[in-house]
A and B are shown apart, each in its own frame.
Chain A
């Protein structure tokens, strides 16, 4: 059974930084594209970024380019999202999702950007 567990969310001031982590089990992690998808309070789903299985390619939604960095450690079956220069509009639940088209999801970790 695939399990995905996110961590690292919390309350941060505007302009601050946060690093999210996602630990996966039950799959050969190094075979899969991985994504971060977020959901602002009461809103729909927004893809944020994804990364190729070997980490050689990374893609981002325009609104986070230059501020967020996705990375992975296949030896640790882990995915990360370094978020810098955070804004109020980044407030959301952040989900880790596996596979090219998000076949499995974690429970999410909430990020609140507020002073």
Chain B
């Protein structure tokens, strides 16, 4: 099974400042069809998860453009250009290239300093 490792696991941030979360995979996430199925999810406190980014860098509908995804192969990054109060929560990466099983990273908890 593919193992996803996130860092940091806890990220205190200052409002208005940038934030970055890393996701590393135990093997390349490039699919035989040429796509890389690495996705990012946000889970605000008390809420269901919400997909933010699919296939590395594509923002879902309604996701603010301060969120961006990048990376390739085994190393991926989610960036928030300027953190807002509503961004507090846990962020998960998930791979859909080598499945079953679909696997999630352990999550990164973002809170305000």
Which chain A residues have a beta carbon within 8 Å of chain B's beta carbons? Answer: 35, 37, 44-47, 50, 59-62, 95, 97, 100-108
Contact = CB atoms under 8 A, between A and B. Distances in A.
B101 A47 contact: yes
Contact of B96 (A46, A61, A100, A105): A100
B94 A108 contact: no
B96 A104 contact: no
Interface stretch (B16-24, B48-56, B66-74, B78-86): B48-56
A101 B92 contact: no
B70 to A, nearest CB: 17
Contacts of B90: 44
Given A102-B39, A103-B60, A47 B50 contact: no
B74 to A, nearest CB: 18
B51 A44 contact: no
Interface string B28-56: 00000000010101010000111100100
Contact of B54 (A47, A101, A107): A101
A15 B99 CA distance: 29
Which of under 10, 10 to 19, 20 to 34, or 35 or more describes the interface residues of B?
A: 20 to 34
A47 B103 contact: yes
Given A44-B106, A45-B41, A104 B51 contact: yes
Given A101-B51, A101-B96, 10 more contacts: A37-B49, A45-B92, A45-B104, A47-B104, A50-B100, A61-B100, A100-B37, A102-B41, A102-B102, A106-B48
Interface of B: 37, 39, 41, 43, 48-51, 54, 60, 90, 92, 94, 96, 99-107
A108 B96 contact: no
B65 to A, nearest CB: 19
A105 B94 CA distance: 14
Contact of B102 (A44, A47, A107, A108): A47
Contact of A101 (B37, B43, B50, B101): B37
Contact of A61 (B43, B60, B101): B101
B49 to A, nearest CB: 5
A112 B106 CA distance: 22
Enumerate the 6 nearest inter-chain pairs by beta-carbon distance, A residue then B residue, closest first. Answer: A59-B100, A47-B102, A101-B96, A45-B104, A105-B48, A44-B107
